[in-house]
Chain A
Amino acid sequence: DTAVSQTPKYLVTQMGNDKSIKCEQNLGHDTMYWYKQDSKKFLKIMFSYNNKELIINETVPNRFSPKSPDKAHLNLHINSLELGDSAVYFCASSQDKQRGWLADTQYFGPGTRLTVL
């Protein structure tokens, strides 16, 4: 009965590979997010989807592409992985009473630790 789940929890891969991280929420929320946690523990938002529509698209390399098949899922696909992509990636969701706004408490997944060798 996990609220926000991510798979895999750990991902180790070689440079140049393409990989995906999956996220699912069973809270019935309208908005989902992807964050990247850097080495200083800062969480930086990458993308936000509201009802399958892209709302926020921060400046990230176009090698990163989010995909939302339905409002309960937001997957993150990364092409041509680079060493600098190594980080912990967090998925989150929120109820959002208004379209696209981050006005409510966000619920986070456990994170995916990506290591690029």
Chain B
Amino acid sequence: KQEVTQIPAALSVPEGENLVLNCSFTDSAIYNLQWFRQDPGKGLTSLLLIQSSQREQTSGRLNASLDKSSGRSTLYIAASQPGDSATYLCAALDSNYQLIWGAGTKLIIKP
């Protein structure tokens, strides 16, 4: 059964730093992996989607990588800003076409 884990559960860094959020999954048989951010009262926003055949996707200051063999994905945020503060969730589409979610990493960017 696919399980998705995100470490750390919370992270606090000063503004301007580059940072990496981690996501691991137990079954490498996935179709894609998505990263979302969740803002209180604003729901979920899709950030990046990486298909199983891809290694990475980039959008602005965000870069997501996927290594299926090791069961890992990372979300790299460059030059962090206070507006990046949110909970970041990863979700893997498994072989049964179920979207399996991690519990999220709560990110706080200190001004």
Contact = CB atoms under 8 A, between A and B. Distances in A.
A41 B87 contact: yes
Interface in A61-117: 90, 92, 100-111
Given A41-B87, A43-B91, A106 B103 contact: no
A101 B87 contact: no
Contact of A105 (B31, B34, B43, B89): B34
Interface size class of B (residues with CB under 8 A): 20 to 34
Contacts of B32: 103
Contacts of A45: 98-99
Nearest to A6: B43
Nearest to A111: B43
B97 A105 contact: no
Chain B interface, DSSP helix/strand/loop, else mixed: strand
B61 interface: no
B97 A43 contact: no
B62 interface: no
A110 B89 contact: no
B45 interface: yes
A111 B41 CA distance: 8
B70 interface: no
Which residue among B36, B44, B87, B89 has the maximum number of chain A CB atoms within 10 Å of its CB?
B44
Interface in B1-44: 31-32, 34, 36, 38, 41-44
A102 B97 contact: yes
Nearest to B41: A110
B43 A109 contact: yes
17 contacts: A9-B41, A41-B103, A42-B103, A43-B89, A43-B101, A45-B98, A92-B44, A102-B93, A102-B97, A102-B98, A103-B32, A105-B34, A105-B49, A106-B46, A107-B46, A108-B46, A109-B43
Interface of B: 31-32, 34, 36, 38, 41-46, 49, 87, 89, 91, 93, 97-99, 101, 103-104
